[in-house]
Amino acid sequence: MKTTAIIGGSGLTQIESINIIDQKHFQTPYGAPSSACTIGEFSGQTIIFLARHGNPHTIAPHKINYRANLWALKEAGAEQIIAVAAVGGITPEMYPARIAIPEQIIDYSYGREHTYLASESAPVDHIDFSFPYHQSLREQLIHSAESLNINIQAKGVYGCTQGPRLETAAEILRMQRDGCDLVGMTGMPEAALARELKIPYACCAVIANWAAGKSAGEITMPEILINLEQGMAGTEQLLQHFLTHTSS
């Protein structure tokens, strides 16, 4: 099986059941990644785990050094990446604590270092990003969820906002008109950088809350944490199944 890297987001700063073999601290041409890469055994496979927001969870979405993170995972030997990310649910089927495997992205973030291809001396290059997530990796995750009877949404458009504030209700309505089903703050440039490095990448999105204006009350941290805990339990099961049953 390909060496799998898991990027853990809010609610998944570490995977308890990893049998840790090594912690690698990489320095990259782009600076330091958010955390050490944990090399460990999980469900009988060697995996690499990186905490996107650091461990402890201190790095805000717009401050994450995405280029260093993806570079470090490549150096550590990652051949495919599953990015776990907390999101808000916009459309009715994206309800809290549910998991979604999105298929598309709209990027509303700005000012982030978002490419490896911007060196002044290198010729201009344009990667194909029509389908930002790796289709076969998505299908394998969906298959694992189905085998386990985990109720997931096997599609969806992920809208990436800048954060760290949550959105206004009008911003969410605009995103919905654009076609977004989910809103998160870390999906980009992570997915595009993985594509530039030619590492298959898929997202396992855990819905932490209804997006702004989609429920009666305010969005509160306790609510987010409860839903994340539930969603992450399903995510860990899904990852275990994926690692145990996938041969490619």
161 is an interface residue for ligand HPA by CB under 6 A: yes
How many Å apart are CA 152 and CA 205, to the nearest integer? 10
CB 81 within 8 A of CB 194: yes
Residue (65 or 161) nearer to ligand HPA, CB? 161
- Which of 11, 184, 187, 231: binder of ligand HPA (CB under 6 A)? 184
208 is an interface residue for ligand HPA by CB under 6 A: yes
Residue (47 or 172) nearer to ligand HPA, CB? 172
**Smallest separation, CB 248 to ligand HPA (Å):** 31
Phi, psi of 160 (to 5 degrees): -100, 115
Residue (76 or 94) nearer to ligand HPA, CB? 94
Which ranges constitute the DSSP H helices of 77-157?
135-147
**Smallest separation, CB 28 to ligand HPA (Å):** 26
235 is an interface residue for ligand HPA by CB under 6 A: no
How many Å apart are CA 248 and CA 233, to the nearest integer? 25
Q: Which helix (H) or strand (E) holds 105?
A: strand 104-107
239 is an interface residue for ligand HPA by CB under 6 A: no
- DSSP-based three-state secondary structure for 190: helix
**Interface positions, 67-96, toward ligand HPA (CB under 6 A):** 86-88
**Smallest separation, CB 80 to ligand HPA (Å):** 24
Q: Total binding residues for ligand HPA by CB under 6 A?
A: 12
- Dihedral, CA atoms, 183, 185, 191, 193, nearest 10 degrees? 160
Residue (167 or 181) nearer to ligand HPA, CB? 167
**Smallest separation, CB 7 to ligand HPA (Å):** 15
How many Å apart are CA 123 and CA 200, to the nearest integer? 24
166 is an interface residue for ligand HPA by CB under 6 A: yes
Token pair of 87, please?
Answer: 């999101």
**Smallest separation, CB 214 to ligand HPA (Å):** 9
Would strands 37-42 and 45-51 be described as parallel, antiparallel, or unpaired? antiparallel
Q: Binding residues for ligand HPA, per CB under 6 A?
A: 86-88, 161, 166-167, 183-185, 208-209, 211
